[in-house]
Amino acid sequence: METIELISQGGARLDKLIADMTELSRSAAARLIEDGAVTVDGKPANKKDTPKAGAVIVIDLPEPQSVDILPENIQIEIVYEDDDLLVVNKPKGMVVHPAAGHYSGTLVNALMFHCGDSLSGINGEIRPGIVHRIDKDTSGLLMVAKNDFAHIGLSEQIKDHSFTREYEAVVCGAVKEDGTVNAPIGRHKTDRKRMCVTLENSREAVTHYSVLRRYAGYTHLRVRLETGRTHQIRVHMAYKGNPVAGDEVYGNGKPKWLNGQCLHAKKLGFVHPRTGEYMEFESELPEYFTKFLKTIED
């Protein structure tokens, strides 16, 4: 059982406070309160309670229900593979790991077929081997660990910001010069599926970008992640006024000739956790990306 401890910010009902401070929905928070899984300052709570600022909220999360994740013979492009890890070039439109509504057809289903039992177990049954993620509609390179030793070594590099992750993106509007967005990212208060730049319950997020070429109404960027927060590039580019082209969540809708955001994970670099050798991989821009560049050039 996992336990979460929160410090109340006050000013709202308990179920709303929990939803605002965690990834739980308000209805899920209410169910946990009703089931007696939440205490405030050590006392049983009611969802209508309004804890004072500074009160200690403790949530006992139940064990997640087991979900059968089945291997599926789905073709995947493997850029590199050895006994410890592999690098995959994920196509746009493929979900990385199973989640509600996506328990099949994911990259994990394909990896389980390809690797069998040889995947790290640190991230649990739902995300075997997954060290880091990219969005469903983002294409490009993804690292997968075959064992816990490799997983720990790669995760430490991500934590230390020594893991190279470079993307290419087309964003809306004119970006005048190279720069950096240094703005913390956290869960959106009212839309739990969205992230946003916020000072509340957020984590440090740093994105570096450089201009590759400017077009009428668009700019082609190279983007380097210093940190790796959920939707980081999409959130930061929208925050600075240049949302990723085709981003329907953080942008201005999508051009009719672009299905999903124009964002590609192009370069991946890391020190191999077993050999100590620095390794770097690049993938070509996919067809959807180059066609969009051709369209805006014309």
CATH number of the domain that 29 lies in?
A: 3.10.290.10
Q: What was the pLDDT predicted at 62? A: 74
| Lowest pLDDT segment from 3-7, 163-167, 174-178, 283-287 | 3-7
- Please report which residue ranges of the chain form alpha helices under DSSP H: 14-21, 26-34, 107-115, 148-159, 232-239, 287-297
Cβ atoms of residues 60 and 69 within 8 Å: no
Beta-bridge partners for 195: 187
> What is the rounded average pLDDT of the residues 267-291?
97
| Structural domain contains residue 273 | no
CATH of the domain at 87: 3.30.2350.10
| Residue at a domain's end among 99, 127, 160 | 160
| Structural domain contains residue 280 | no
Q: Are residues 252 and 188 in the same domain?
A: yes
Q: Are residues 178 and 122 in the same domain?
A: no
Q: Are residues 170 and 261 in the same domain?
A: yes
Q: Are residues 244 and 225 in the same domain?
A: yes
Q: Are residues 134 and 183 in the same domain?
A: no
The pLDDT of residue 249 is above 70: yes
Please give the Cα distance from 197 to 203 (Å, whole number): 9
Residue 135 bears catalytic tag: yes
Tokens of residue 98, six digits = 């199973």
> What is the rounded average pLDDT of the residues 244-271?
88
Cβ count within 10 A of residue 27: 10
Cβ atoms of residues 174 and 205 within 8 Å: no
Cβ atoms of residues 165 and 264 within 8 Å: no
Which helix (H) or strand (E) element contains residue 40? strand 38-40
Q: Among candidates 40, 44, 62, which has minimal Cα distance to 53? A: 40
Q: How confident is the model at residue 1 (pLDDT cuts 50, 70, 90)?
A: low
Domain assignment of residue 84, given as a range: 66-160
The pLDDT of residue 125 is above 60: yes
> What is the rounded average pLDDT of the residues 94-108?
83
- Please report which residue ranges of 216-264 form alpha helices under DSSP H: 232-239
Tokens of residue 187, six digits = 């869960």
Q: Are residues 11 and 113 in the same domain?
A: no
Q: Are residues 293 and 173 in the same domain?
A: yes
Beta-bridge partners for 59: 4, 38
Q: Are residues 187 and 252 in the same domain?
A: yes
Q: Are residues 153 and 187 in the same domain?
A: no
Choose the catalytic residue: 20, 49, 84, 135: 135
Q: Are residues 155 and 198 in the same domain?
A: no
Q: How confident is the model at residue 3 (pLDDT cuts 50, 70, 90)?
A: confident
Please give the Cα distance from 55 to 42 (Å, whole number): 10
| Structural domain contains residue 283 | no
**3-state SS, residue 177:** coil
- Please give the model's pTM, rounded to 2 decimal places: 0.77
- Among 97-106, 155-164, 262-271, the range with the most confident prediction by mean pLDDT is 262-271
> What is the rounded average pLDDT of the residues 69-79?
93
**3-state SS, residue 149:** helix
